[in-house]
Amino acid sequence: MSSDKLNIRVDWQSEMNRVATRYHLIGSWVAIILNPLWFVADYFTIPEFWENFLFVRLSVSAITLLAFLVRKRINLSSELLIAIPLLGISIQNAYMWSVMDIPTLQKHAFAYLAVIIAAGMLVLWKPIWTIVVLILSVLANWFFFHYFSVLSVEEILINGGLLVLTVGIISVVLIQSRYALTKKEIIARLALVVTIDKLEVQKELIEEKNREITSSINYAQRIQSAILPGLDEISNAFPQSFVLYKPKDIVSGDFYFFTSKHNLKFIAAVDCTGHGVPGAFMSMIGAEKLDESVEFSSDTSEILKTLNTGIKTSLKQSDVNDDATRDGMDLALCSVDTETRVVNYSGANRPIWIIRKGASEVEEIKATKKAIGGFTEFSQTFESSTIQLQEGDTFYLCSDGYADTFNGITGKKMNTKRFKELLIEIQPLTMIEQNEHLSNFLNNWKGNEDQVDDILVIGIRM
C-alpha cells in the first residue's frame, strides 16, 4: 500500500470519527433531555405504571449523562457513547411494552417510532455496532415479553410491533447507507486534498523549471542580440530609416542583417523557419552564413546562392537524406550604393516594396519562389534586380509577421494588401514617426489577440 493511500486510510477514519462524534453528542443530549419528558404521556396513557416508567427513564438518562461527562476521562468512543442510550431506551421500551395491554401498546408504538427515526438520522457507525445493539435489543425484548407480557406474538406484531420492526429495518439501512456515503465523501475529499497538494508541488516544480528555462532563454536573447547589428550602425548608414522588430517570444526566428563592404551597404530582412528557441538557433546559423556569403561576393544573387549551399551543408540537407531537417529561411537582401542610390535586390520568397516620392501605390519586385535551405536544390540560383532610386524614395523589406497579424475584434488577418495601404498612408511621416505609427497600429489591430509570429519591418528612405 502506497504512503498516500495509507495516509488517506488513517485520515478518513479520523475524519469519520470527528463527524460521527458530532452526531453522537447531539443524540446523547436528545436522549438525556427528552426521554424523561415522555413520562407525561406515560401518566395519561398507563397511570398505574407511570412511576415505574419514570424511574426507568431517569435511569437511562442518568447513565447516558454519566457516560457523557466521563467520556474524555475514560476515552469513551463516540460509538459506545450513543450505544448506551440506544440500548437503554430499547430495554426500557421492551419492559414498558411487556406490561401494556393492546390499546396502550398501539398508542406507545407511534411514540417509539420517533425514537427509531431519530436514531436513523443521528447514528453514524460501523455495521458491527448495529449488529451488537440489535442482538442485545432482541434478547431484552424476548426476556421481558416472555416473563411479563400476557399478549401473544401475533397480537404484539399486529398491534404495532410489525410497524416498529419495519421502521427499524429502514432505520438500520439508513444508518449504514449514511455511513457508507459519508465514508466515500470523506475519502474522495481527502484524495482531492492529496491530489491538490501533489499538483501544488508539481506546479512549484514546473514554475521553477519555467523560471530556469526563461532565464536560459533570456540569456539566449542576449546572445542573439549580440549577433544582430547595432541599430546605430544602420541609422549611421541610412539616416532616414527604421527597424521594427517584435519577436513573438523572447527570442526570434526573424533577424535583420547589416554590413558594409567597399562603397556598398548590405541590409536584409530574414524570416527563419519557426520562432522562439528553434527559430533563434536557425537565425544564428543564418546570420553567420549570410555574413560569410557577403564576404564571398558583392552580387546579391550570388550571395543567396552561396547562402543556400552553406545552410544546406550546415544542416546536412540533401535530396537523398529523408531524415535531414528541412528547415530554412526566406529573406530579402539589398546592396545599396548610398551615393548613386542604386539598389541591387535578390529575394528568397520575400519581395522588396518601393514607394516613389509622391506615389500613391506600392511598387513590388517579387522574389524568387524558393527558400534558402530546406527542399531547395544545391544548384538553385536567385534572380537579382537593379533599382535606381531618387531622393525621397522609400523601400521596405519585411517578414510576413506583420501582415499575418490577426485582428482582435474580427479575428481576420491584416493581409498584405492592407499592409501596403498602411505604408502608403504613412508616407508623409518621417521614418522615426513611421516606426512609431506602425507599432501603435499593430497593437491596436491585434488588441487582446496573441502575436502569432515574429515581426520584422525595415524601412529606408533615400
Position with higher pLDDT, 113 vs 417: 417
pLDDT reading at 11 higher than 80: no
> CA 57, CA 68: separation in Å to the nearest integer?
16
- pLDDT computed for residue 381 by the predictor: 96
pLDDT one-digit tens code per residue, 41-58:
888 888 888 899 899 999
What are 389's three cell numbers? 532610386
pLDDT at 255: 93
Pick the CATH number of 228-461 from 3.90.1150.10, 3.30.70.870, 3.60.40.10, 3.40.50.10490: 3.60.40.10
- Among 9-13, 44-48, 88-92, 111-115, where is mean pLDDT lowest? 9-13
Q: What is the mean pLDDT of residues 222-239?
A: 90
Place of cell 515574429: 454
Across 214-242, average pLDDT: 89
Name the pLDDT band for 232 (thresholds 50, 70, 90): very high
pLDDT reported for residue 323: 56
Q: Which residues contact 86 (CB under 8 A, 6 or more apart)?
A: 31, 119, 123, 133
How far is the C-alpha of 90 from the C-alpha of 116, rounded, in Å? 10
Q: How confident is the model at residue 62 (pLDDT cuts 50, 70, 90)?
A: very high
Count Cα neighbours of 306 within 13 Å in the Cβ-side half-sphere: 16
Question: Residue 356: is its pLDDT beyond 90?
Answer: yes
pLDDT at 1 over 50: no
pLDDT tens-digit map of 403-458: 999 999 998 999 999 999 999 999 999 999 999 999 999 999 999 988 999 999 99
Q: Evaluate if pTM is beyond 0.75.
A: no
Contact 445/414 with Cβ under 8 angstroms? yes
User: 153-183: per-residue pLDDT in tens?
Assistant: 888 888 888 888 888 888 889 988 988 898 8
- 295-317 pLDDT, tens digit per residue, is 999 999 999 999 999 999 988 88
Question: Looking at the predicted structure, is the pLDDT value of residue 318 above 80?
Answer: no
pLDDT band at 320 (very low <50, low <70, confident <90, very high): low
The residues, ordered by sequence, that sit 6+ positions from 69 with a Cβ below 8 Å of its Cβ are: none
Please, where in the chain does CATH 3.60.40.10 lie? 228-461
**Residues 333, 352: contact at Cβ < 8 Å?**
no
Label residue 364 by pLDDT band (50, 70, 90): very high
| Amino acid 299: pLDDT | 96
Angle in degrees, CA 174, 176, 181, rounded to 5: 90
Cβ pair 419, 457 in contact under 8 A: no
pLDDT at position 322 is: 55
Average pLDDT, integer, range 243-267: 92
Long-range pairs, 356-364, Cβ under 8 A, ≥24: 356/390, 356/393, 357/390, 357/391, 357/392, 357/393, 357/394, 358/392, 360/424, 361/424, 362/420, 362/423, 362/424
For residue 35, pLDDT over 60 is answered with: yes
Predicted confidence at residue 10, as pLDDT, reads 53
The average pLDDT across 27-51 equals 87
Kindly state the average pLDDT of the residues 345-371.
Answer: 96
Average pLDDT over residues 238-248: 95
Highest mean pLDDT pick, 125-134, 280-289, 421-430: 421-430
- What are the pLDDT digits (tens) for 178-221? 888 988 888 888 888 888 888 898 999 998 988 888 888 888 78
Check residue 271 and give its pLDDT. 93
Least Cα distance to 393 among 240, 192, 251, 208 occurs for 240
Alpha-carbon gap, residue 323 to 316, rounded angstroms: 10
Q: Is 323 left (phi over 0), alpha (psi -120 to 50) or beta?
A: alpha
For the chain, what is the mean pLDDT? 89
Mapping DSSP onto H, E and C, the string for the chain reads: CCHHHHHHHHHHHHHHHHHHHHHHHHHHHHHHHHHHHCHHHHHHHCHHHHHHHHHHHHHHHHHHHHHHHHCCCCCCCHHHHHHHHHHHHHHHHHHHHHCCCHHHHHHHHHHHHHHHHHHHHHCCCCHHHHHHHHHHHHHHHHHHHHHCCCCCHHHHHHHHHHHHHHHHHHHHHHHHHHHHHHHHHHHHHHHHHHHHHHHHHHHHHHHHHHHHHHHHHHHHHHHHHHHCCCHHHHHHHCCCEEEEEECCCCCCCEEEEEEEECCEEEEEEEEECCCHHHHHHHHHHHHHHHHHHHHHCCCHHHHHHHHHHHHHHHCCCCCCCCCCCCCEEEEEEEEEECCCCEEEEEEEECCEEEECCCCCCCEEECCECCCEECCCCCCCCCCCEEEECCCCCEEEEECCCCCCCECCCCCCECHHHHHHHHHHHCCCCCHHHHHHHHHHHHHHHHCCCCCCCCEEEEEEEC
